[in-house]
Structures are given as structure tokens and as C-alpha cells.
Amino acid sequence: MTHAGALALALLIDALLGEPRWVWDRYPHPAVLMGRAVAALDRSLNHGENRKARGVLALASLAVPAWVLGGFFAALPFGWLVEIVAAAILLAQRSLVDHVRDVANALRISLGEGRRAVARIVGRDTAGMDASAVSRAAIESAAENFSDGVIAPAFWFLLLGLPGLLVYKIVNTADSMIGYRTPRYAEFGWASARFDDLLNWVPARLTAALLALAHPSSNAWPVIRRDAGLHRSPNAGWPEAAMAAVLGAALSGPRSYHGEVRDYPYVHPEGRRALGPDDIEAAVRVLWRGWLLTFGIVTALAIA
């Protein structure tokens, strides 16, 4: 079976089943195992001198085994089945839209519930958020994680099969855990953060294109070209600018981390700034239209 055929099935399985609790309540999710591996290397290597070199060693210690393990499983007699199951597990469309929709549902109950729900999916301070800030954070998470959790793993699986998918996921996990510009991780997490930026460069721009193409009436391209580079991340601005244009909303902007307010510029600043649960639901629909276009393209590649 071709990578495109396996990916089409994996996309469909993930969209239908998501993350079955009866499985992951009994067994550790692969992403959890990856996180444990990153944490173990953090404990064992992130100390003393030459932390940047130690971080490079940590990254190699994660990526090389992931590549080898992916190749081993793909080479098994029923390796194609392993690839489909692994890709379905490591894609995150259904879990993403479920978590984002949970914020909308919680916000309809109360602002406090909305803050608690969005705190599960973003890393910024949530205690002082109003309803618009909660909604904006959920929508931004939806856009960025559609790129990181769906399009990027699909792209690397399509290109390099299971080895490419596993390397991408372990690097992305490492970046989410140690890729911060803090005293502890500025040097040790440097290699993971930069490699993650590299692996997401094409998928982030592809995500923006998919969202724009799935919503041709939004005229998103001028906003994407103008505002994608305003984001603090070299990649996250692309899907975020596309989402902002499609929704007609202003995203990004000032926010607080660890009690410190950071005056980030708005993406699509002319868009609406008063946002609510209905806008979060609209973002979920944007994700599904982007997913549907992705699934159609992959299926066409599988048939061709």
C-alpha cells in the first residue's frame, strides 16, 4: 500500500474515532511515551556546561531511534497495517476539535469554566482573561495545532512514511517540553526548537494554503501574505493568519505569560476583537473544511 493510501485511511480513522478513552486509560499513549523519553533526557543531560551540545545530543538520542523504530515496523510483513494504525493514533484532528469545542461549551456555562477549559490547551495565563480573550486563545490553538497536529504529521508521513512521522512527533514533543527561551532551556532546548521550526516550515505554509483554498470567498491570501510574518513564531503565523482572515477576526495580540504582559501585534488587526463561543464553533468548522480538503487531496494521490 502506498503512503497516500495508508494516510487516507489513517485520516478517516482518526476523524471517526479520535482518542478512545477505553484504550488510553489502560495503555500509555505513544505521545506519553515520547514525553517520558524527553523528560528522562532533560533530567540526565540538562546540567553543567556545554548545554547546547548536550541538547544536540538529546535531540539525536530521540530522532535516530524514532527513525530506526519506524523503519523496523514498516518493514514487518504487515507493516502497512502498523503504519495505518500508528498514523491514526498520532494524527490529532478529532481530539483537537473536541478540545476546542469544549472551550466553547464551557464558556457558555460561565467565564470561569471557559478559563479552566482553555487553560488545558494553551500555555499563557488565563486567570485574567475576558470572554474574548478565552475565545481568541482557543481559536489560535485551533489554527496552530491543525498545522502541528494534523497537517505536519500527515506531510511527513506522506513524504517519508512511518519513520518520518515518528521523527516529526518526537521532535515536536521535545520542542513543546524543552524548546523554551528560559534560563533552564535556552541552550539545552535550542536544537529541538530549531529543528522543530525546520520540520514545520513547509507544513505551516501548506496549512495556510489549505485553509484559504477551503474558503475561497474569504480572500485570505492578502492577509496571510501581510500578517503571517508578524507572529513571534516563524511558522505559527501562517495558519493563524489564515484562520483570522477566514473568520474575520483579529487574533494574537497582547497576552500574559507567568505574570508578564507581552505586547504582541494583532494578526488581521482590522478583524473583530469581540469574540465568543460562536466564533470558536466557527473555527471548528474551518478545521473540518480544511481536513476535508486535505483528505480529498490525499485520496486523489492514493488513487492516481
DSSP label at residue 264: P
- Give pLDDT tens digits for 54-100: 999 999 999 999 999 999 999 999 999 999 999 999 999 999 999 99
Q: How far apart are CA 14 and CA 29, in angstroms?
A: 14
Looking at residue 255, its amino acid is: R
- Would you state the pLDDT for residue 180? 87
Q: Does residue 278 lie in a domain region?
A: yes
- Would you state the pLDDT for residue 243? 97
Residue 272 backbone dihedrals phi, psi, to 5 degrees: -65, 140
Q: Does residue 41 lie in a domain region?
A: yes
Structural domain count, the chain: 1
Tell me the residue range of the domain where 71 lies.
3-298
Q: Does residue 33 lie in a domain region?
A: yes
* Side-chain-facing half-sphere of 256: CA atoms under 13 Å: 13
Q: How far apart are CA 227 and CA 266, in angstroms?
A: 9
Give the E-state strand segments of the chain in sequence order: 251-252, 255-257, 260-262, 266-267
Q: Does residue 187 lie in a domain region?
A: yes
Q: Does residue 304 lie in a domain region?
A: no
pLDDT tens, residue order, the chain (304 aa): 899 999 999 999 999 998 888 888 898 999 999 999 999 999 999 999 999 999 999 999 999 999 999 999 999 999 999 999 999 999 999 999 999 999 999 999 999 999 999 999 998 888 889 999 999 999 999 999 999 999 999 999 999 999 999 999 999 999 999 998 889 999 999 999 999 999 999 999 999 999 999 999 888 999 999 999 988 889 999 999 999 999 999 998 888 787 777 788 999 999 999 999 999 999 999 999 999 999 999 999 999 8
- Would you state the pLDDT for residue 276? 97
Q: Does residue 303 lie in a domain region?
A: no
Q: Does residue 49 lie in a domain region?
A: yes
Q: Can you give the pTM of this predicted structure?
A: 0.95
* Side-chain-facing half-sphere of 297: CA atoms under 13 Å: 16
Could you tell me the CA-to-CA distances from 196 to 59, 63, 85, 222, 265 in Å, in that order? 10, 11, 24, 27, 23
Q: Does residue 147 lie in a domain region?
A: yes
- Would you state the pLDDT for residue 61? 97
